[in-house]
């Protein structure tokens, strides 16, 4: 029996995985057209209601493939099953309980190696085949009103993060040492160009990708509107980097909360900190890696919350924008352009 949909923010935590597989080959140009092969088959993924689950369901529906309900076993429909972690996925595949899998990097590398599965469907390309005028986006940097008045500082931070992708590629051989220094779960990962390509990190300011973000949030809204706070955010959700700067700081040290794992790569070049001088004011940024999106939410919204900014799923940013207007949540940029693959 399939597990029931998990609580909202557990689902959001799962959504943070960047989905990929280490098959030894690039798969960006994978072409897949025969979705009927999924009829009567079972696809397993980690986390009901997470981004992989939502996008998979969205694409299958757009391609005319129906999904079995909880107690259905129709061979004319596909069954989606859930696991708590990649070890369970491996076991389900080895036991013959699942035919296909959608997972998050770097866990998928292990699954491919231990099950013999390979990429058969590029879900990012599949999403674009449904939404031809947009690209898939997954997670980004957003901030509270403790920092958003300081446009000079945020422009400097954006410029720095704009250099991050080059930094990651240039330093791929020592990335695991940097991540070990911060006790990241990726500290034993050997990064290659192919693996970094699949992680699909980058940086585009929020205003540049508004159409992409809207398409993604609408997709999540169709599945569960509460995951984005019940409605799409207004235009002011997208940060205006040209707004007038305030050089009067209530605080000068800011913290970015980042879910440990692939998202940490999107801020690799500031893991050791970032400093900026705004007029006569010295401003600094530190990064804190956390275990899940619940910690991000608490760090941003609790009275004693420790985070001013966060790298988090776009649906969480939208949900907090709608639920906590007093926090003045603004999306600064998209930093993870999800790379979703289905293995079979």
Q: Which residue has the higher pLDDT, 31 or 331?
A: 331
What average pLDDT does range 50-64 have in this prediction?
92
The per-residue pLDDT for 151 is 96
What average pLDDT does range 132-148 have in this prediction?
94
The per-residue pLDDT for 124 is 83
Confidence band for 59, pLDDT divided at 50, 70 and 90: very high
Cβ neighbours of residue 18 closer than 8 Å, sequence gap 6 or more: 104, 105, 138, 198, 199, 200, 261, 262, 263, 336, 338, 339
Q: Which residue has the higher pLDDT, 3 or 144?
A: 144
Average pLDDT over all residues of the chain: 87
Model confidence, pTM: 0.87
Alpha-carbon span 88 to 93, nearest angstrom: 9
Among 31-35, 72-76, 284-288, 316-320, the minimum mean pLDDT is found in: 31-35
pLDDT greater than 70 at residue 174: yes
Alpha-carbon span 106 to 94, nearest angstrom: 19
Q: Which residue has the tokens 């674009």?
A: 128
- Cα-Cα end-to-end distance for the chain: 21
pLDDT greater than 80 at residue 8: no
Encoded tokens for 182: 């911060």
259-271 pLDDT, tens digit each: 988 899 999 999 9
The per-residue pLDDT for 11 is 38
334, β-bridge pairs: 140, 204
**Size of the chain, expressed as the number of residues it contains:** 344
Alpha-carbon span 163 to 46, nearest angstrom: 32
Alpha-carbon span 195 to 186, nearest angstrom: 12
Instruction: Return the percentage of the chain with pLDDT > 70, whole number.
Output: 89
Confidence band for 106, pLDDT divided at 50, 70 and 90: low
Confidence band for 343, pLDDT divided at 50, 70 and 90: confident
Confidence band for 77, pLDDT divided at 50, 70 and 90: very high
What average pLDDT does range 179-208 have in this prediction?
92
Confidence band for 107, pLDDT divided at 50, 70 and 90: low
Q: Which residue has the higher pLDDT, 173 or 84?
A: 173
The per-residue pLDDT for 277 is 95
Instruction: With beta carbons less than 8 A apart as the criterion, state whether 329 and 317 touch.
Output: yes
The per-residue pLDDT for 264 is 94
Instruction: With beta carbons less than 8 A apart as the criterion, state whether 300 and 254 touch.
Output: no
């Amino acid at each position: 029996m399939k597990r029931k949909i998990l609580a909202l923010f557990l689902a959001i935590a799962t959504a943070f995985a960047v989905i990929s597989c280490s098959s030894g080959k690039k798969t960006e140009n994978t072409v897949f057209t025969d979705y009927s092969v999924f009829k009567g088959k079972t696809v397993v993924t980690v986390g009901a209601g997470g981004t992989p689950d939502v996008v998979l369901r969205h694409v299958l529906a757009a391609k005319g493939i129906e999904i079995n309900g909880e107690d259905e076993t129709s061979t004319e429909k596909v069954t989606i099953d859930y696991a708590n972690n990649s070890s369970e996925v491996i076991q389900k595949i080895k036991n013959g309980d699942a035919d296909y899998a959608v997972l998050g990097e770097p866990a998928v590398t292990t699954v491919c190696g231990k099950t013999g599965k390979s990429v058969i469907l590029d879900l990012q390309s599949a999403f674009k085949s449904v939404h031809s005028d947009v690209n898939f986006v997954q997670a980004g940097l957003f901030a509270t009103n403790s920092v958003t008045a300081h446009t000079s500082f945020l422009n400097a931070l954006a410029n720095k993060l704009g250099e991050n992708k080059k930094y990651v590629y240039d330093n791929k051989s020592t990335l695991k040492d940097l991540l070990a220094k911060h006790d990241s779960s990726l500290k034993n990962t050997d990064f290659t160009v192919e693996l970094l390509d699949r992680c699909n990190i980058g940086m585009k300011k929020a205003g540049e990708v508004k159409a992409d973000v809207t398409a993604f949030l609408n997709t999540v809204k169709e599945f569960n509107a509460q995951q984005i706070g019940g409605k799409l955010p207004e235009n002011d959700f997208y940060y205006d980097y040209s707004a007038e700067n305030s050089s009067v700081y209530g605080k000068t040290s800011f913290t970015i909360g980042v879910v440990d794992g692939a998202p940490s790569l999107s801020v690799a070049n500031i893991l050791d900190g970032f400093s900026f001088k705004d007029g006569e004011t010295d401003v600094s940024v530190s990064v804190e890696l956390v275990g899940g999106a619940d910690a991000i939410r608490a760090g941003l919204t609790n009275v004693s919350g420790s985070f001013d900014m966060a790298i988090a799923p776009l649906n969480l940013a939208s949900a907090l924008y709608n639920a906590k207007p007093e926090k003045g949540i603004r999306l600064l940029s998209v930093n993870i352009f999800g790379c979703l693959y289905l293995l079979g």
